[in-house]
Structure 1
Amino acid sequence: MPSGRVRWYDPKKGFGFILSDAGSDVFLPQNALPEGTKDLRKGTKVEFSVVDGSKGPMAMDVTVVQSAPSLVKATRPKPDDMAAIVEDLIKLLDSAGNQLRRHRYPSQAESHKLAVLLRAVADNFDVQD
């Protein structure tokens, strides 16, 4: 059974390409993905069968051998470091809450800093896999 790595896959378009170990590109249609799989990350190792499609080789019966590692997951802070970040965020949110109780929003600079920090913390918590 041929194998290779996902070169790219776009779930919105419903197709992508596999770079086979033999060095050729193989078309990857959505209906060739394993049941329940909607997306494949670039670099995922797969095995597949090949059929001749109207525009060249096409993968069928794709099996995921090894998922590509999540770059976000690999680079997120250690739990101890994240705890300190969350504690600092709580202090900033508490300060913003106190200002709101006095019927005024934090300054534009403080609001921007808080929004950036909230997004960054959310991204570190929302890692899939």
Structure 2
Amino acid sequence: MKWFDAEKGFGFVSRDDGGKDVFVHRDALPDGVEELAKGTKVEYSIIDTRRGVQAMGLHVVAAPQAGAAPASETPKRSPEELNSLLQDLIGVLEQQVMPPLSRGRRPDRKTGAKIAELLRAVAGDLE
């Protein structure tokens, strides 16, 4: 979530694909949710309206971590932790990504998004 103003009843969410931000109206929020904090991870469908793209059927995937340091300030993992993490990641790639690719298909979107997020996190530790 890029930002959401509960008083105004709308906000914008950044797209993972780098496209233009998506408008979010309070009507698209899940039942019982009045506002979303910056940094909240959400999934949603997009509809194209006269005014541009708009999020629909939004649901919260993960709330922002309170007091979390920005990525640039996050301490890097130790070599031992990184080694273990990479071994686990290789196993996940072999089980969930390689089989569909070997059959000429991509992994489903949800799996692909989760794997991409893991790869980005590990890449940050390798730099």
Q: Report the TM-score when normalising by structure 1.
A: 0.50
Deviations 1:54-97 (A, max 9, x none): 211100000100001223xx7xxxxxxxxxxxxxxxxxxxxxxx
2:18, 2:12 → 1: CA distance? 12
Q: 2:31 maps to what in 1?
A: 35
Overall identity of the aligned pairs, in %: 46
RCO higher in 1 or 2 (8 Å CA, sep ≥ 6)?
1
Q: 1:67 maps to what in 2?
A: 63
2:50, 2:10 → 1: CA distance? 15
* Higher CA-based Rg: 1
User: What's the RMSD between the two structures over aligned residues?
Assistant: 1.5
Structure 2 gaps, min length 5: 69-127
Comparing both structures, which one devotes a greater share of its residues to strand?
A: 1
1:58, 1:22 → 2: CA distance? 15
Report how many residues are paired.
68
Structure 1 gaps, min length 5: 1-5, 75-129
1:19, 1:12 → 2: CA distance? 20
Q: Report the TM-score when normalising by structure 2.
A: 0.51
Runs of 4 or more above 2 Å deviation: none
